[in-house]
Structure 1
C-alpha cells in the first residue's frame, strides 16, 4: 500500500506544473475594429411594387386582324409588331386616293389654261374699249368671263388639296395597319385574335415596362421631411431579396385616416424577380445622416455594471464598460466607453478573464460598413440581441 501511495504522489506532483502551463497559454479569440459609420435612424414602412409605365396599346385604324405574333409573357422591343391588319381594302383606298389626286391635278391645269385665256381676252377688250372699238357691254362680258375662270381655278386648287388630304389619310391608314410596341416591354395581355375585327381605338395588347418599375410607400407625414431626392433607401421583398431604391417624388396628397403620404421610389440597380403588386419593407430614414461609432454586436456581453466588451490591450483582454445606443442589424452604436480603432473580441469572449492573455486569429477585421441604418430602438433591442 505504501508503494502505491508514493506512486500517486509522484504522478500528481509531475502533473501540477503541466496543468499550470496549460492555464497560462493565451486564449484563441477573434477580434474586430471599432469603426465610425455614416448612418441615420430608420423606420420600417410597407410598400408595393407598381408599374412606372404600363400601356394599353390601341389600334389607330380599324380592320380585320390578319397576324398576331405575340403571346402573354413575351418580351418585345420598341417597334416590334404586335398585330397586323388585312390591308387589301386599304390598298384599294390608297389607289383610289392617288387617282383622285391625279384627276384634281389635271383639273388645276385645265382651269389654269382657261384663266389665262380669259385674262388675255379681258385685257384685249380693255384696250379696244379705250379706242371705242367695242361696246361697254362687250367689255363687261369679258370681265365676267375672267372672274369666272379665276373662280374655277381656285375651285380646282381646293379640290386638289382635298384629294391630297384624302391621299394622306389613305397612307396613314395603310401605315398604321401594323400595330407596333411603343417601348421595350413585357406583354401582359393580348386582347385580339387572328380574324377578329379591330375597331379604331380598341386595345390590342397591354404592355408593361419592367425597366421602369417603382415602389410606392405610404410614409408617415412626420417623417417625410427627412427624405432627400435621390437618397438611397434599402428595401426587402417578401421573399428576402434586398434591393436599393432612390426617392423620386413625394406625391402632394395625404391620407387623413393614417396621416401618411404616398412616396415614389425608383429601383436602383438589378431588380431580379421583382414583380408588380409585390410587397416590400422599406427602411425609410427618419433623421438626417450622422456619424456614429459602431461596435459589432458579438463583442457586447452583459455584466453586473451593464454592457461591456473585452479590448485587446497589448495581447491582454481588458474589460471596458460601454454605453450603447441604437441597434443595427449586426452592430450597435457606441455612446461611450470605446474609441475608433479599438480592437474588441467578438468570438471567445464568454470565457475570458480580465487581464488574460489572448491570441487573435489573423488581423482584426473592420466592422461592416454596409449596415448604414440605425434602428429606432436601442437598449430594448440590445437586450434581446446581445449574448449575455
Structure 2
C-alpha cells in the first residue's frame, strides 16, 4: 500500500514537469506558429458582432463609428461660368463663301508698237477717266499724218477741177468719178493716220485705282503688251454659289452679310443685283452676284469672304453662347446646371449669330448652361454658378 502511494506521487510529479516543459516550449515557438489561433479568435468575434447586430443588440451607427474617421470628405462645388438660355427671333440663314471682284477691271495694253516717251501716272494711285497714262513716241506717225493730209488736199483740188471740166464737156464723167474716188481714198488715209497717232497716247478708260506698271520709260513695247492694270474698287462685286434647292428663296435686292479674315470683328453689307438664269449642271448650284460699297477701300478684289444671306425669320428661337458647346465627332453636348450639379445634355444646333448659336432641341428657355470651366467638371459634378461676363459674347 505504501509502495502504491509512492508510485502515484511520483507520476504526479512527472506529469507536472512534462507540463512545464511543454509550456516553455510553447513560449519559445515563433509568432507565426501562433497566428492561426489569433485569426480564429478574430473570426469568432466578428461572427458574434454580426449575430448581435442581427438581433438588434448592436446598432448600425455603433458598427460604423470606428470607420467614420476613414470616410473621405464631400467634394466642394466647383465654380463655373454660366449663362441663361435666351429667347430671340432667329433669321433663316443661307451660308456660303465667295470672292470679291472689281466692279470694272482692265489690263491696259499697247495697241501699236512704239517707244515709251512719257509715263503720266503713279502706281497704286487713283486716276480719272480719260487721263493720259502712257505716251509713245509719235514722230513717225505724225509725219505719216502730214503726208496723208497733203495727199487729201491735192486730190480734193483735182476733183474740183475735174468737176468743172466735166461741165464744159472737156473730160468724161468717168474721169471726174475717178478724181472723186481718189479724193475720198485720201480722206480715209487721213483718218487712218489720225487713229494711229491717237494710239500713241494711252488713256484711262474709266476712273479707278492703278496697279503696278509693267514697263519703264524708254521701253519699246509691242501691240498687246501689258502696261498696267486699272481697277474700279469704289464698289466691289461679290460672287458666290448656293444650292439650287434654295432658288425660290433668293431674290435680287436681298441684303448680304460678309465677313473677311482681314477684319474678323467687322461685317460688311452688300446687295444682290443679279442671279444666273442657269443652274450649274455639275454642282447643281446657282451663281449669285451682289454689289458692296467699298468707298473706304477696306476690301480688295480677289479676297475670300464668308457670306450669310437671310431668307426668313423664326420667332422665339433659343440661343446659347458658342462657348457653351462641347463639339464631339458625331454630336454636340452642353453642361446644364440642375439642382447645383452639372448634367451633360445632347443638343442640336441651328443658325449661328455672331457669338451665339441656336438650339433646336435639348434645352428650354431659362436653362442655365456652363460657358467656362468644362474641363474641371464631369456629369454629376457639384458646381457653383458664376454668371459669365456678358461682354465676352458677341451681340447680334
CA shift, 1:112, in A, is 1.8
Residues in 1 aligned to 2:113 and 2:91: alpha-carbon distance in whole angstroms = 58
Q: Does 1:168 align with 2:191?
A: yes
Partner deviation per Cα, 1:44-78 (whole Å, 9 max, x = no partner): 32222223321122334432211123343232221
Question: How do residues 328-339 of structure 1 correspond to structure 2 at under 5 angstroms?
Answer: 328-329=353-354
Aligned to 2:290: 265
Partner deviation per Cα, 1:106-145 (whole Å, 9 max, x = no partner): 1012212221221xxxxxxxxxxxxxxxxxxxxxxxxxx6
TM-score, normalised to structure 1, is 0.58
CA shift, 1:198, in A, is 3.1
Match of 2:280 among 232, 254, 267: 254
Q: Does 1:207 align with 2:230?
A: yes
Partner deviation per Cα, 1:79-111 (whole Å, 9 max, x = no partner): 111110112112211211111111111101221
CA shift, 1:234, in A, is 0.8
Asked if 1 retains the 8 angstrom alpha-carbon contact of 2:319 and 2:359, the reply is no
Q: Does 1:76 align with 2:101?
A: no
Q: Does 1:227 align with 2:250?
A: yes
Residues in 1 aligned to 2:167 and 2:146: alpha-carbon distance in whole angstroms = 32
Residues in 2 aligned to 1:178 and 1:279: alpha-carbon distance in whole angstroms = 36
SS of equivalent residue, structure 1 residue 277: coil
Q: 1:46 to 1:108 in 2, by over 3 A?
A: same
Matched residue count: 266
CA shift, 1:201, in A, is 4.1
Q: Does 1:177 align with 2:200?
A: yes
Partner deviation per Cα, 1:158-184 (whole Å, 9 max, x = no partner): 111111111111222223321000011
Q: 1:177 to 1:95 in 2, by over 3 A?
A: same
Q: Does 1:53 align with 2:78?
A: no
SS of equivalent residue, structure 2 residue 159: helix
Asked if 1 retains the 8 angstrom alpha-carbon contact of 2:255 and 2:309, the reply is no
Residues in 2 aligned to 1:325 and 1:84: alpha-carbon distance in whole angstroms = 60
Aligned to 1:122: none
Q: 1:297 to 1:181 in 2, by over 3 A?
A: same
Asked if 2 retains the 8 angstrom alpha-carbon contact of 1:255 and 1:261, the reply is no
Unaligned runs of 5+ in 2: 1-85, 325-334, 340-348, 366-384, 388-393
Residues in 1 aligned to 2:355 and 2:106: alpha-carbon distance in whole angstroms = 43
Question: How do residues 119-138 of structure 1 correspond to structure 2 at under 5 angstroms?
Answer: none
TM-score, normalised to structure 2, is 0.57
Aligned to 1:101: 152
Q: Does 1:238 align with 2:261?
A: yes
Aligned to 1:86: 137
Q: 1:110 to 1:328 in 2, by over 3 A?
A: closer
Asked if 2 retains the 8 angstrom alpha-carbon contact of 1:111 and 1:149, the reply is no
Partner deviation per Cα, 1:205-233 (whole Å, 9 max, x = no partner): 22121124222223222234321111111
- Root-mean-square deviation (Å): 3.8
Q: Does 1:282 align with 2:307?
A: yes
Question: How do residues 13-52 of structure 1 correspond to structure 2 at under 5 angstroms?
Answer: 40-52=91-103
CA shift, 1:262, in A, is 2.7
SS of equivalent residue, structure 1 residue 53: strand
Match of 2:168 among 112, 117, 126: 117
Residues in 2 aligned to 1:203 and 1:164: alpha-carbon distance in whole angstroms = 33
Q: 1:91 to 1:330 in 2, by over 3 A?
A: closer
SS of equivalent residue, structure 1 residue 292: strand
Asked if 1 retains the 8 angstrom alpha-carbon contact of 2:242 and 2:285, the reply is yes
Which has the greater radius of gyration?
2
Unaligned runs of 5+ in 1: 1-33, 119-144, 306-323, 339-349, 353-367, 372-388
Q: Does 1:151 align with 2:202?
A: no
Asked if 2 retains the 8 angstrom alpha-carbon contact of 1:292 and 1:333, the reply is no
